[in-house]
Structure 1
């Protein structure tokens, strides 16, 4: 009997990252993954010399989609089992890697390593895709200066439950935004681009109603690649076919999507909603700050207070009051962290995602 497979059969079970709560087993069926691959990759389209570097674990949706995409397009796959910035650079150079995917924390470390090396040549590298978290604007700007001019950048936003990528900020978007002096256009470099063909995207308020441009809410998506199903827990896809991602964000007038972090991460201080990412972006602009995480912690007067964990660059020093004033000068005073704690490092999972719930527990305990 010829081998056959039902499109509705389970293809893979992948656990979600667990950054805000316990991981759940997302169910991806063959029809979801096939829909994603057929919608984004042309069969056998890769040139003979093409090689894709995978440094994301195969139990992460980015690792699964990268391998499947490379196989379908005909790219040679190069694997880096344990990420190290210098090892990544050496492997790209030695193996003639043409395409690579990284998460924001990886790209930041690669840029630092390139800057320390004084501009190592990576002539084979044609394209870098990044995703899996919010990319600080300062990091991508440095990256575009550090890599060869012929290297294209693509920002991809997606989830485990959606079989990977939903929106893309492509190479031309990067070049246009980086070169523009128009604030609204340059700002798009901090976006995750626009929805892929076949993907419908809406921003909805707390009542589940769609909102207009630049209004913040929950990102909801619909498309054939979207599963939204969890093992033993059923589906979270609504009767209208839309899946609520639990990610917060907004869309501009040209349909570029901007992430604000997880909806659960939004800080509510005295009835005012605050995005941790907005405050983190400002803190990362300070010359002494290497890394940071902003969370809400319980506060009797305001409901929640803004708290920040700060990692200072080696050889630098900065005080809490200086950082508060730095934020106040660039944002409203209410967004300046009430509590600031200095840490040697921040907790990340194996795929480079910040474990914000661990930071919240740490800072809540420190302020109790």
Structure 2
């Protein structure tokens, strides 16, 4: 099977239903399938071995994704925010490609690599011209690699994560009901097109026959206005987006959000204060916390709407703590926690998260990361509680090792965030002659509050945790560094604290 089947089924079931809205232009499912078939023709003519997108979210993302699937070549959206040298190196690794997007930039930094380049507008125009509406020609799309995504490459050269058609279909068919959406349903997509969350959002909505509403460049005001304008029913946000949306509402930006029924979030740690505030602000909305990775074709664990509301309203500390979790594994995957020796950990024992299932690729162009029996080591640290809820502690590489004792940055951050004057905090390991590593923290003070003293913060940690967790160095800063998906860039915090 090929992911193109998702769009073909949607267009066959509801060809005249609006499938996509972007910058005021509307596309039916029939339009999208016809354009994807046109893209197939362009790809075949170009001789390209990849289809790359170097652009913000637009209809071109949908057309290129499914056009590549029909042509049997990998779809490879690229991070347009990368510096020229890094982007040129990635383009060279996928040459020759059909590249959609920033034509001038590709020609300038990779003009000798043999790419076929189309500006977005020309690409979408041509895809609508080359496939006659009554043409029923046959094609063999293949079942190999559907998507190739480059990792962030924060510690080494970016790896090329491989997602096969079977992986992506394993996720979609196991978690989405075909044609389940009402014609009035609309999903707002505001995450970047080069992230797995953006790709899975497109496929999920298309298979459900839900209208996709795209916000190419996120702003909280633009997000709120688009929800009202298009009567959005479903949305996915990262924690920093939700925080900014709430801030805009609190500052008086008015919008009719009565249509919003479901909000999913993920991509980074959600501060408890933010999700509690969101549950109060949107009493009609069902909230879902989704945890997944590129290598797992998106979501592998969910904290559902009923669990959110129960935890929000509960006085039971154990139930209330579930808002800090990412919920329970999907029925289609297995999750284990393993220690450094590979032993499977019991309830509440911290270790590395391993996952197995049909949607799990765990494959890179360079090599496979799967174990012999199909388990993928995520490099995320966490634990499962006695009720099966998964709690994240950060990346396994982020663990602070002080004198041979492993410490989770998350437990230190959670304690410091209970201080009323602190809005954000990051705990990292810093070099220590005596201990190898010690705890350093960067702290953001809440607007309108005086910064607490270092002694006060140290006493707070000492009173809740073991003395080894007490920060040796504390830095007050105006903001912490995050990427566009809301992930904290701990390496940058380490660099500042280590100076």
User: Is TM more than 0.5 here?
Assistant: yes
Q: CA deviation at 1:18?
A: 4.3
The alignment yields a C-alpha RMSD, in angstroms, of 1.7
User: CA 1:111–1:271 in 2, change beyond 3 Å: closer, same or farther?
Assistant: same
User: CA 1:110–1:87 in 2, change beyond 3 Å: closer, same or farther?
Assistant: same
Task: Report the Cα distance in structure 2 between the residues aligned to 1:154 and 1:63, rounded to whole angstroms.
Answer: 16
Structure 2 gaps of 5+ residues are 1-136
Q: Could you list the structure 1 runs, at least 4 aligned residues long, displaced by more than 4 angstroms after superposition.
A: 18-22, 118-121
Q: TM (normalized to structure 2)?
A: 0.70
Q: CA deviation at 1:144?
A: 0.6
Contact preservation (8 Å) 1:129, 1:156: yes
User: CA 1:119–1:322 in 2, change beyond 3 Å: closer, same or farther?
Assistant: farther
User: CA 1:109–1:282 in 2, change beyond 3 Å: closer, same or farther?
Assistant: farther
Q: CA deviation at 1:228?
A: 0.7
Contact preservation (8 Å) 2:393, 2:409: yes
User: CA 1:131–1:161 in 2, change beyond 3 Å: closer, same or farther?
Assistant: same
Aligned to 2:440: 307
Task: Report the Cα distance in structure 2 between the residues aligned to 1:108 and 1:100, rounded to whole angstroms.
Answer: 14
- For residue 125 of structure 1, the aligned residue among 227, 236, 260 is 260
Report Cα offsets for 1:35-94 as digits up to 9, x if no partner.
Answer: 111011111111111111111001000000001111111111111122222221122122
Aligned to 1:276: 409
Task: Report the Cα distance in structure 2 between the residues aligned to 1:51 and 1:214, rounded to whole angstroms.
Answer: 39
Aligned to 1:105: 240
Aligned to 1:12: 147
- For residue 400 of structure 2, the aligned residue among 267, 271, 276 is 267
Task: Report the Cα distance in structure 1 between the residues aligned to 2:398 and 2:183, rounded to whole angstroms.
Answer: 45
Q: CA deviation at 1:175?
A: 1.6
Aligned to 1:225: 359
1:3 equivalenced with 2:139 (yes/no): yes
Please give the residue correspondences for 1:49-60 in structure 2 after superposition, counting only pairs within 5 Å. 49-60=184-195
Q: Residue 287 of structure 1 aligns to a residue in which SS? A: coil
Contact preservation (8 Å) 2:422, 2:445: yes
Report Cα offsets for 1:137-172 as digits up to 9, x if no partner.
Answer: 22211111121x220000000000000000001111
Task: Report the Cα distance in structure 2 between the residues aligned to 1:21 and 1:352, rounded to whole angstroms.
Answer: 21
Q: TM (normalized to structure 1)?
A: 0.94
Task: Report the Cα distance in structure 2 between the residues aligned to 1:234 and 1:224, rounded to whole angstroms.
Answer: 18
Task: Report the Cα distance in structure 1 between the residues aligned to 2:248 and 2:139, rounded to whole angstroms.
Answer: 49
Contact preservation (8 Å) 1:96, 1:124: yes
Aligned to 1:317: 450
Q: CA deviation at 1:119?
A: 7.8
Q: CA deviation at 1:207?
A: 0.9
Task: Report the Cα distance in structure 2 between the residues aligned to 1:43 and 1:35, rounded to whole angstroms.
Answer: 14
Aligned to 2:425: 292
Contact preservation (8 Å) 2:427, 2:441: yes
Q: CA deviation at 1:329?
A: 3.0
User: CA 1:323–1:120 in 2, change beyond 3 Å: closer, same or farther?
Assistant: farther
Contact preservation (8 Å) 2:228, 2:255: no
1:145 equivalenced with 2:277 (yes/no): no
Structure 1 gaps of 5+ residues are none
Aligned to 1:43: 178
Task: Report the Cα distance in structure 2 between the residues aligned to 1:47 and 1:351, rounded to whole angstroms.
Answer: 29
More relative contact order, 1 or 2 (CA 8 Å, 6+ apart): 1
Q: CA deviation at 1:173?
A: 1.1
Contact preservation (8 Å) 2:221, 2:253: no
Task: Report the Cα distance in structure 1 between the residues aligned to 2:398 and 2:155, rounded to whole angstroms.
Answer: 8
Task: Report the Cα distance in structure 2 between the residues aligned to 1:296 and 1:160, rounded to whole angstroms.
Answer: 26
Q: CA deviation at 1:21?
A: 5.4
Task: Report the Cα distance in structure 1 between the residues aligned to 2:159 and 2:390, rounded to whole angstroms.
Answer: 26
Task: Choose between structure 1 and 2: higher helix proportion.
Answer: 2
Aligned to 1:252: 385
Task: Report the Cα distance in structure 2 between the residues aligned to 1:330 and 1:117, rounded to whole angstroms.
Answer: 38
- For residue 300 of structure 2, the aligned residue among 166, 169, 191 is 166
Please give the residue correspondences for 1:22-101 in structure 2 after superposition, counting only pairs within 5 Å. 22-101=157-236
Aligned residue pairs total 362
Q: Residue 340 of structure 1 aligns to a residue in which SS? A: strand
Report Cα offsets for 1:263-285 as digits up to 9, x if no partner.
Answer: 10011112222111122222223
Q: CA deviation at 1:27?
A: 0.7
Q: CA deviation at 1:350?
A: 2.4
Which has the larger displacement, 67-76 or 175-184?
Answer: 175-184
1:234 equivalenced with 2:370 (yes/no): no
